[in-house]
Amino acid sequence: MSTLFELTDEFQWLHEMGADPDVDPEVFADTLEALTGELEVKGRGYVSVIKQLEMEAKQAKEISQQFASKQKVRENHIKQMKEALLFAMTKIGTDKIEAGEWTIKVQKNGGQQPLTITGDVPESFMKVIVEPDNEKIREYLQENTADWAHLEERGKHIVIK
């Protein structure tokens, strides 16, 4: 049996053959029928593999979601336990505990200091972001052409029913 790519080449060859007035119509029809049958078999095989892979991908996604859920639960427990330690250490007024082979310390957070804005900010502290309005550009290009933008083809995809 031919590969899908070989079948594609054979259909192209058949298309060229169909344009030749010297080709026997019966030979053309028989060749077309044979190639169409091979394509149907090949398509069935491809769809079987696609369906199997889709099922495996769905299962992998479900397992991934289960692990993500477990991860989130554990991260929340870690956060709660650290907050409890911080509360206790702050309450008793210590910033360091020697706990066997572990040392627990209270440390200030790094990064930028948190900022809370409570009133009107002067214009000199404002930032203006200018960006293209894609929807407006799309509408414009439906009726006009522009040397600064163009609409791309949407592309194609396979639907299996």
Q: How far apart are CA 114 and CA 75, in angstroms?
A: 23
Banded model confidence at residue 9, pLDDT cuts 50, 70, 90: confident
Give the residue from 128, 126, 129, 146 showing the smallest Cα distance to 138.
146
Alpha carbon 76 to chain centroid distance? 27
Q: Is residue 16 pLDDT above 90, yes or no?
A: no
Q: What are phi and psi of 21, to 5 degrees?
A: -70, -15
Prediction pTM value? 0.61
Contact 34, 13 (CB under 8 A): no
Per-residue model confidence as pLDDT tens digits over 97-151: 999 999 999 999 999 999 999 999 999 999 999 999 999 999 999 999 999 999 9
**Within the chain, how many helices (H) and strands (E) appear?**
3, 2
Q: Which amino acid type is present at position 112?
A: Q
Token pair of 23, please? 């080709």
